Structure 1
Amino acid sequence: MNLYPFGKFLVSTIFYPLYRVKVIGKENFPQEGGVLLCTNHINNFDPPVVGMSSPRTVHFMAKEELFNVPILKSILPSVNAFPVKRGMSDREAFRTTLKLLRGGHVVGMFPEGTRSKTGELGKGLAGAGFFALKGDAVVMPCAIIGPYKPFKMLKVIFGKPIDMTSYRETKASAEEVTEVIMSEIRTLLEQNK
């Protein structure tokens, strides 16, 4: 059973007024085709906040450990999350991600691989660049700026999509493309402080 629409409604009802969420750049979001949505990671609430802010359904990679938590293991698949083993090559997660992107879906990921303890943007992992190059999709940079504190404004900014065609043609490395993606996220963070 897909609970995504209900989850989006529920999260929106609670989070929009609680965190005074302001969404910027929604018009930049491609209306169709595969999209790799890459965002910074500052809080455990980032996935639902980005999901409710996105004009399209987002399939999120989630760390495998969450699928072992009793309540979450039944909820996560029903809101389009799928497991990924962190710190190792996870072929199943690779296949799932590429299949979704090539099938015209939106896949959300946090290139840093983990939450930033300081709130500062960390180094992106090569996985983001790999999926950007192989996924037959555009990359959507996204920035979350907050504190996650009640009644303080939280911003979700969608940048302009990054066309991967030239990077594929020049056979850019996954690391180079990840750096391009992180640079775009960094610019969004700096411009919208």
Structure 2
Amino acid sequence: MYQPLARFARLLLRGFGKFEIIGADKLPKEGGYVITCTHRGWMDVVALGCSLLPTEVHFMAKKELFSKKVSDKFLRDINAFPVDRENPGPSSLKIPIQLIKQGKTIGIFPSGTRSSEDVPLKRGAVTIASMAKAPIVPAAYAGPTGLKELLRGKKARLVIGDPIPTVGDAEGASKGKKDLNELADRLMLATSTLEAGLKRLDESQQPT
């Protein structure tokens, strides 16, 4: 179900909102990785899924979204898997790490600002990438936040940043809390820089 839905969504974004993907050439050419994206609503999830085609993103989503049978089936059909954000356990790491080692791409959506929810998600993203010995790729989205804005023709942009390596000279060495915090800070800075670039681009194209 993922491929046809993602391709249809990309057609909609391009047809109504003039969808632009910036920096796709920076994506790792092989192997699994983690990609994070700013999160304001469901449209950024759709945009990220469209941007990486034909690569499929396996989305980490809060378990509450899987509470109903219909939504559970739909989310799993589009490669989402549940995570208990309030009480994360070993499975919160095990599932995404296994997927990365199979060469899959994991999508995680921290918000764009530092908050009580955002920090653990960024820390979780770098922890997963580090344990899987995989890079983490920052991304940012700007554009319509819902169908109304999309149908009005608001342009959608998704910008992809340079991959952040999580394995240094000591191949396979475990990272301590300090290392993970430094990686989380690098991820937050990279994301903020991408967001600022999108804002400048949008302002430069506003009619004077």
Structures share fold, TM-score greater than 0.5: yes
- SS of 1:45's equivalent in the other structure is helix
Task: Report deviation, 1:64.
Answer: 0.7
CA deviations 1:23-58 (Å, max 9, x no partner) are: 101111112111100111011222221001114211
- In the superposition, the TM-score normalised over structure 2's length comes to 0.80
Secondary structure of the equivalent of 1:108? strand
Q: Give the number of the structure whose alpha-carbon radius of gyration is greater.
A: 2
Matched residue SS, 1:38: strand
Identify unmatched segments of 5+ residues in structure 2: 200-208
Q: Counterpart of 2:92?
A: 93
Larger helix share, 1 or 2: 2
Match for residue 115 of structure 1?
Answer: none
Could you tell me which residue of structure 2 aligns to residue 117 of structure 1? none
Residue correspondence of structure 1 range 118-137 to structure 2 within 5 A: 121-123=113-115, 124-125=119-120, 126-137=123-134
Q: Which of 128, 140, 143 is equivalent to 2:140?
A: 143
Aligned match of 2:64 = 65
Partner AA of 2:29 in structure 1 = Q
Q: Is the 8 A contact 1:11 1:48 kept in 2?
A: yes
Aligned residues: 184
Q: 1:70 to 1:10 in 2, by over 3 A?
A: farther
Deviation sequence 1:52-76 (CA, Å, 0-9, x none): 1114211001111111234321111
String of CA shifts for 1:98-136, please: whole Å, max 9, x gaps.
101122210000134xxxxxxx53343221221121121
- Scaled by the length of structure 1, what TM-score is found? 0.86
Q: Is the 8 A contact 2:134 2:167 kept in 1?
A: no
- What is the root-mean-square deviation in Å for CA atoms of aligned residues? 2.0
When residues 170 and 4 of structure 1 are mapped into structure 2, their CA distance, relative to the original with a 3 A threshold, is closer
1:167 CA drift (Å): 8.4
Moved more, 58-67 or 141-150: 141-150
Task: Answer whether contact 1:29 1:140 (CA < 8 A) is retained.
Answer: yes
Give the superposition deviation at 1:157: 0.4
